């Protein structure tokens, strides 16, 4: 699979259901042994099996500028669990935790095997995504 935005996220965005720089946006570390992405049909966090959810962290300093969604770097702290291969971004404020984006390609340091320590994430200089 490749990195991408969930199709229903785009629909929700156009429908004014999400506000990315004021909602709580969460980054989720994913074990792909327990989650197979479907960017077309998956829309809510309920589509991601609990066993596949390894760690969560809320993003800080959310910004939207010229179509670019960005945040500060962040950490998953004291992470334990299965080897993880991908990252999901979702809107934690939305009533059903709307899925936003999926990343499993071109990530330096992935797959990562949690060792009980922190996993520090550097967000790309060009942000999470641009529309």
Give the interface segment with other proteins, choosing from 14-22, 41-49, 53-61, 103-111 (CB under 8 A): 103-111
Is 116 a binding residue for other proteins by CB under 8 A? The answer is yes
**Cβ proximity to other proteins, 96 vs 120, nearer residue:** 120
Structure-token match 């984006």, residue found: 101
Neighbouring residues of 22: CB distance < 8 A, sequence distance ≥ 6: 62, 93
Is 66 a binding residue for other proteins by CB under 8 A? The answer is no
- Token pair in block for residue 97: 């935790």
**Cβ proximity to other proteins, 50 vs 106, nearer residue:** 106
Q: How far apart are CA 90 and CA 97, in angstroms?
A: 6
Alpha carbon of residue 43 to chain centroid: 13
Is 95 a binding residue for other proteins by CB under 8 A? The answer is no
Q: How far apart are CA 69 and CA 27, in angstroms?
A: 13
Single residue of 49, 54, 87, 99 touching other proteins by CB under 8 A: 87
Q: How far apart are CA 71 and CA 96, in angstroms?
A: 22
Single residue of 25, 62, 98, 121 touching other proteins by CB under 8 A: 121
Work out how close the CB of 36 gets to other proteins at its nearest, in angstroms, rounded to a whole number.
19
């Amino acid at each position: 699979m490749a990195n991408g935005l969930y199709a229903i996220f785009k629909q929700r965005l156009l429908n004014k259901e999400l506000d990315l720089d004021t909602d709580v946006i969460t980054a989720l570390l994913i074990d792909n042994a327990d989650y197979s992405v479907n960017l077309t049909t998956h829309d809510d966090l309920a589509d991601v099996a609990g066993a596949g959810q390894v760690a969560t962290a809320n993003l800080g300093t959310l910004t939207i500028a010229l179509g670019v969604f960005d945040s500060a770097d962040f950490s998953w702290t004291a992470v334990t669990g299965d080897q993880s291969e991908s990252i999901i971004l979702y809107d934690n404020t939305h009533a059903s935790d709307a899925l936003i984006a999926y990343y499993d390609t071109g990530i330096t340091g992935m797959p990562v095997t949690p060792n009980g320590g922190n996993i520090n994430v550097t967000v790309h200089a060009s942000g999470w995504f641009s529309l």
